[in-house]
């Protein structure tokens, strides 16, 4: 399955790298020394968050917020992050 969520990227104050968070995925955050690495780290963080949520909590995943509904502060940008997770049948 493929899941897509918006991530908000904020440049670090020292100008070196970015911090990312997902408005829809509670406590799902990542950092990177540049935007490309921050995007990849955000993708990994989202993949881990979704996998844990599905495996341990068996809950419904949150809906994805529309990009135009996200209020950004100066310097922030939004990127849609897609993750593909292969669902395996239970081996119990």
pLDDT tens-place string over residues 13-42 = 998 999 999 999 999 999 999 999 999 999
- The SS3 call for residue 34 is coil
pTM of the model: 0.88
Q: What DSSP state is assigned to residue 25?
A: S
Rounded CA separation 67/70 (Å): 6
pLDDT tens profile 38-86: 999 999 999 999 999 888 876 689 999 999 999 999 999 999 999 998 8
């Amino acid at each position: 399955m493929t899941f897509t969520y918006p991530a908000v990227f904020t440049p670090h104050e020292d100008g070196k790298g970015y911090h990312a968070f997902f408005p829809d995925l509670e406590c799902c955050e990542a950092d990177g020394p540049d935007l490309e690495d921050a995007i990849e780290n955000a993708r990994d963080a989202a993949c881990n968050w979704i996998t844990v949520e599905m495996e341990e909590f068996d809950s419904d995943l949150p809906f994805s917020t529309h990009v135009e509904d996200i209020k950004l502060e100066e310097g922030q940008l939004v990127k849609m992050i897609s993750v593909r997770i292969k669902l395996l049948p239970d081996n119990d």
